[in-house]
Amino acid sequence: MFIYNLKVNRTGILKTIIICFSIIVLGLIAIVILSLIKNANVEKNYIDDQIPSSEVATLTPENYTNILKAVHNDLNTYIGQKISFTGYVYRVNGMEENQFVLARDMDIGNHQTVVVGFLCCSEKAKEFETYAWITISGEITKGNFKNTEMPIIHVTSIEKANQPENNTVPMPDDSFVPTAVIY
């Protein structure tokens, strides 16, 4: 028969438990700090890309539908934002002589598209035929069209443009992070 004499040192066990607990807590704190630093860097990238709302934001085919969606979803945030973009003149019944939609064709798959765009208001609207490609600069305002509140671009400059090689834009996705300004 073997007999083991095991002497338990209560102080040693308590120290071991405290050290293990401390290591676990320090590890969790390190993970949280690294996560905060990573999120701060991501947020910093968005902040660095922002432009002051007094500058003109240029919409591109890649961000067009995301920004269109963000402005329609939260119009009050974007009132006064100056934007510039290219599209074609599109008109529907019920529009006034100085109104048009600066439109793009949004690809919805299976070689199908739908017309999307901002309603625009300009005294020079009648100078441009329907489906003519133009570039506008203007300011986002709030207005009504057929008893529906919506953004209306008050056009400050308008000029003829060439039709792009690819005139479609993608469907909105989650790549645009809405902020108080368009960047």
Contact 134, 89 (CB under 8 A): yes
- Res 128 pLDDT > 80: yes
pLDDT at 150 exceeding the cut of 70? yes
**Rounded Cα–Cα distance for residues 37 and 34 (Å):** 5
Q: What single letter denotes the amino acid at residue 158? A: I
Provide mean pLDDT across the span 77-105. 91
Query: What's residue 181's pLDDT?
Result: 52
pTM to 2 decimals?
0.64
pLDDT digits (tens, 9 = 90+) for 30-76: 888 888 887 765 544 443 334 335 678 888 888 888 888 888 888 88
95 — phi, psi (to 5°)?
A: -80, 145
Residues 6 or more apart whose Cβ sits within 8 Å of residue 150: 72, 75, 119, 142, 143, 144
Integer Cα distance of 86 and 163 in angstroms: 9
- Residue 182, token pair as written in the block: 């368009």
